[in-house]
């Protein structure tokens, strides 16, 4: 199985970093959350397999998605994608099509995860977050791809990390979803995360380490936006595993 990721930066799914002879993908904290939850279904870590040199990962930068979106077919009027959320629908649709192409080329099932923050400027009403999430679900469906996963923290990814780091870890985490996403707001999520890290703003590597070493256990995070993501990830893993089993059965019969 292969993992396809498309995020926004180093503190979510990760970033490509230059090194001698090329570039290397450095997974962010949200990528490790995907991996740790998927590992429960697959029995192995896709990110660790990729780090060991296995062909298990493709990273699609948001600019690549935008390029494919501009060159692809125009969105048809009336498609169910949520009010004012065509951008999210289109991103999921394009990523789903790229995943399908990779499946056809590699002969292996692909699990595709699209990360977008719920909103980085203000607190997000639940219905607006739901519209964005649903539009991504519908974008994957419109592409005919059944192993696509929307990853949309409310209001942003720091809320999910704070759930496992606060004074009472994993307790009453739903209240974090109503916090302002604006980094200039008093008691904003980034400052709360900084305070819990000894007053030092945690780097992407530090945040990723919290997931990788178990400081934050994604299996224990309990908040609505996370549960929505977890359900879609579990469903998508099941779809990919079923496809893998069917492909092997057909190959054996041939």
Structure letter (DSSP) for residue 225: H
Among the ranges given (89-93, 113-117, 245-249), the one the predictor scored with the smallest mean pLDDT:
245-249
- pTM for this prediction: 0.91
Q: What is the DSSP letter of 201?
A: P
Task: Specify whether the CB–CB gap between 56 and 3 falls below 8 A.
Answer: yes
Identify the bridge partners of residue 160 per DSSP, sorted by sequence position. none
Distance CA(25)–CA(18), nearest Å, equals 9
Task: Give 146: exposed, middle or buried? Use CB within 10 Å, 0-12, 13-18, 19+.
Answer: middle
| 43-88 pLDDT, tens digit each | 999 999 999 999 999 999 989 998 888 776 555 444 554 456 888 9
How many domains is the chain partitioned into structurally? Answer: 1
- Domain hosting 77: range is 2-253
Q: Report DSSP letters for 122-141, one per residue.
A: S---HHHHHHHHHHHHHHHH
Q: Is the pLDDT confidence value at 186 over 80?
A: no
| CB atoms inside a 10 Å sphere around CB 225 | 25
């Amino acid at each position: 199985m292969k993992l396809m990721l498309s995020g926004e930066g180093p503190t979510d799914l990760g970033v490509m970093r230059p090194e001698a002879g090329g570039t290397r993908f450095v997974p962010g904290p949200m990528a490790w959350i995907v991996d740790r939850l998927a590992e429960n279904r697959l029995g192995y870590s896709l990110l660790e397999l990729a780090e060991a040199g296995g062909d298990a990962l493709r990273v699609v930068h948001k600019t690549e998605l935008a390029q494919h979106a501009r060159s692809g077919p125009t969105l048809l009027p009336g498609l169910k994608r949520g009010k004012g959320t065509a951008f999210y629908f289109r991103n999921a649709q394009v990523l789903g099509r790229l995943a399908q192409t990779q499946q056809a080329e590699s002969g292996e099932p692909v699990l595709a995860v699209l990360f977008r923050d719920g909103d980085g400027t203000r607190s997000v009403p639940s219905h607006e977050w739901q519209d964005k999430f649903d539009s991504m679900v519908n974008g994957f469906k419109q592409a005919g791809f059944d192993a696509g996963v929307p990853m949309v923290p409310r209001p942003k990814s720091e809320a999910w990390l704070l759930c496992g780091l606060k004074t009472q870890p994993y307790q009453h985490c739903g209240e974090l979803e109503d916090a302002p996403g604006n980094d200039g707001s008093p008691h904003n999520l980034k400052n709360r995360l900084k305070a819990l890290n000894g007053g030092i703003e945690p780097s992407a590597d530090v945040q990723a380490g919290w997931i990788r070493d178990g400081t934050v256990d994604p299996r224990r995070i309990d908040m609505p936006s996370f549960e929505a993501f977890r359900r879609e990830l579990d469903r998508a893993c099941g779809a990919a595993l079923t496809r893998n089993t069917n492909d092997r059965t057909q190959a054996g019969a041939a």
